[in-house]
Structure 1
Amino acid sequence: MPADLPPHRAAAAVGDLGRAVDFQHAFARRKAPRVVAVPGGFAVLDDRFPGSYDDNKLIVGPGPEASGGAALEPSGGAAALGASGAAPEAASRLLRAADEVLEGRDHRLVCVDDDRLGTALAPAFAAAGYEQEINLIMAFHGEFPPGLPGLPEAERLSLAELLPVVRRDWRATLPQAPEEAIDRLARRVEVRLHGADAVSFWGVRAPDGEIAARADLYVHGGVAQIESVFTGEQHRGMGYARALMTALLAQAAEAELIFLVADASDWPKDFYAKLGFVELGRTHAFLRT
């Protein structure tokens, strides 16, 4: 979390960060066919999509409130890790849990939704052959932008309209993949409909009618998440993503909190910052394939 926030903003940001993390945990639980308790959190599993990282992973929270009562440390959660030097043992428990719960999968993914805890665990995960990704949870604190003249408005897409677009994008990304694999990757979007009270898919079309940019919007309990923002490479730099985000913010305007997750090492985080999103906190993902 940025250190230069005034005290009242910092306190509000801590509360918003907790709500965003709770939202993500609840979303993952609701859409998962199977949920299994693990040290410090839980795992979500979907045997229909065994190769899907998002649908087969371990999720660890910052403490009992975020992890269903099973903190890595009996008291203090992440804070106790830093004070007691218990990170190696905590990492060992999580590594064993990942191997057990994700047995039969070709990947191991452990998401740690607490910055201090993730930082403490990183050396042990690196030694075990895991790659680390740091993500930013960003909340919208700006003024709602006006529509952009000259660009088409965003439209809500049905699942039937979205699936061919997702298949097209995966085919462009993985040109050598078999058709069955592309279809499984695309059809994962179907399970997202179970994650929140309101799940919708949105797109902006290029002049030829092709979907140039697309994203998901999840709304539940006064919180809204913008997710899976994607612009085709040939359509980038033309304003389609900005038009899409403008429309999504308008759709979510009544929410008490609007947030998204951005890769800390990639350029979209700067684009979101220009739109009025600010960093609330950082999470860590450890992946071995």
Structure 2
Amino acid sequence: MRALDFLHAFARRRAPREVPVPGGFAVLDDRFPGSYDDNKLIVRTAPDDDPAAAVARLLAAADEALGSHGHRLVCVDDDRLGTAYAPAFAAAGYEHETNLLMAFRGPVPRDPAPAERLELPELIPVLRRDWRRTLPQAPDAVIDGLARRVESRLRGAGSVGFHGVRAPDGEIAARADLYAHDGVAQIESVFTGEPYRGKGYARALMTALLGEAAGAELIFLVADADDWPRHFYSRLGFEQLGRTHAFLRT
């Protein structure tokens, strides 16, 4: 699937370190040890015909690759494998999340209002603000790491842009990333600040990004299968392509 190829190539390009694991690879970034997205296993093919044996090998690989980290994250990007592996991961104490790959199939917005391009010196303080609101008890070093990890995304694709729309008070109300490479575009990290939700900022931002990415052969995003934004994306013209699975232990 082309969307999965994009995601895997993006992860590899941004990662300072990559190590092979059964059926896939692990990406590692020692600068941000607490970042799940920067330190994880990615599996696409079955490393063993026996699901129980395959999961045992993956659990051992996660312990080895992420041994110095406080988490274990294994992303299984094959729906059949993820479904088959779920019971064994649950028995090992992992939580299970299912995500949807969604492709834009709607009409391209006409003359959308442009979103503002955010450079890192302005974006990072916004990220710190939003993470602090989300994790009020977290140490400052953790908040700073979560904000600054955005720097690695600049290596992930040929074109990487951070975009936002402002509220009348001048604050960034909604923000998102737009990555493009070889005819494929991904919209990622869509976020609306809590004081600004339900006021149309996310829709304005998404419309702007869809307009900017209109020349791509494929525009896609990843949505939590159990959370409400997937319905919002459907109303904008996104349709499900497939499912992936994430297994997390903290």
Structure 1 length normalisation: TM-score?
A: 0.85
User: What secondary structure sits across from 1:213 in the alignment?
Assistant: strand
CA distance in 2 between partners of 1:146 and 1:215 (Å): 20
Match of 1:145 among 101, 109, 130: 109
Work out which of the residue numbers 64, 69, 82 in structure 2 matches 1:118.
82
Q: CA deviation at 1:183?
A: 0.7
- Of residues 30, 39, 54, the one that matches 2:37 is 54
For 1:179 and 1:21, locate their aligned partners in 2 and report how far apart those are by CA, in whole Å.
34
Whether 2:22 is the aligned partner of 1:39: answer: yes
Q: Deviations along 1:88-146, whole A, 9 cap, x unmatched? A: 01111101100111111000000000100000000000000000000000000000124
C-alpha separation between the residues in 2 aligned to 1:100 and 1:249?
41
* Aligned counterpart for 2:3 among listed residues 8, 16, 20: 20
1:212 maps onto 2:173 in alignment:
yes
Structure 2 distance, partners of 1:104, 1:163, is: 26
1:29 to 12, 24, 42: 12
SS at match of 1:96: helix
How many residues are paired up? 250
What is the deviation of 1:153? 4.3
In the other structure, the counterpart of 1:230 is 191
- CA contact 2:101–2:222 (8 Å) conserved in 1: yes
Q: Note if contact 1:147-1:246 (Cα within 8 Å) is conserved in structure 2.
A: no
Which 5+ residue runs of structure 2 have no aligned equivalent?
A: none
Which amino acid in 2 is paired with 1:97?
A: A
Contact 2:165 2:173 in 1 (8 A): yes
The residue that corresponds to 1:158 in the other structure is: 119
Is the Cα contact below 8 Å between 1:32 and 1:55 reproduced in 2? yes
- Deviation of residue 200 (structure 1)? 0.4
Structure 1 counterpart of 2:224: 263
Dislocated runs of 4+, deviation >3 Å: none
Q: CA RMSD in A?
A: 1.1
Report what 1:169 is aligned to: 130
Cα distance in structure 2, aligned partners of 1:231 and 1:171: 14
Q: Distance in 2 between matches of 1:189 and 1:197?
A: 15
Contact 2:34–2:142 (CA<8 Å) still a contact in 1? Answer: no
SS at match of 2:83: helix
Q: TM-score scaled to structure 2, two decimals?
A: 0.98
Secondary structure of the corresponding residue to residue 97 of structure 1:
helix
1:203 aligns with 164
Aligned residue type for 1:192:
R
Q: Give me the whole-angstrom Cα distance separating, in 2, the residues matched to 1:120 and 1:237.
A: 38
* Aligned-partner SS, 1:287: strand
**2: distance between equivalents of 1:165 and 1:146?**
29
What are structure 1's unaligned runs of at least 5 residues?
Answer: 1-17, 64-70, 74-80
Q: Distance in 2 between matches of 1:25 and 1:235?
A: 33
Could you tell me how far apart the structure 2 residues matched to 1:263 and 1:24 are? 16
Q: Are the counterparts in 2 of residues 199 and 216 from structure 1 also a CA contact under 8 Å?
A: yes
Contact residue 147 and residue 243 of structure 1 kept, 8 A: no
Indicate if the aligned counterparts of 1:224 and 1:252 stay in contact, CA closer than 8 A: yes
Cα contact 1:44–1:56 (8 A) shared by 2? yes
How much does 1:179 deviate? 1.4
CA displacement 1:155-178 (0-9 Å, x = unmatched): 111111111100000010111112
Give the SS at the match of 1:120.
Answer: helix
1:146–1:246 CA contact under 8 A, matched in 2 = no
Residues 213-252 of structure 1 show CA distances to partners (whole Å, capped at 9, x for unaligned) of: 0000000010000000000111111110000000000111
Distance 1:154 1:34 in 2: 33
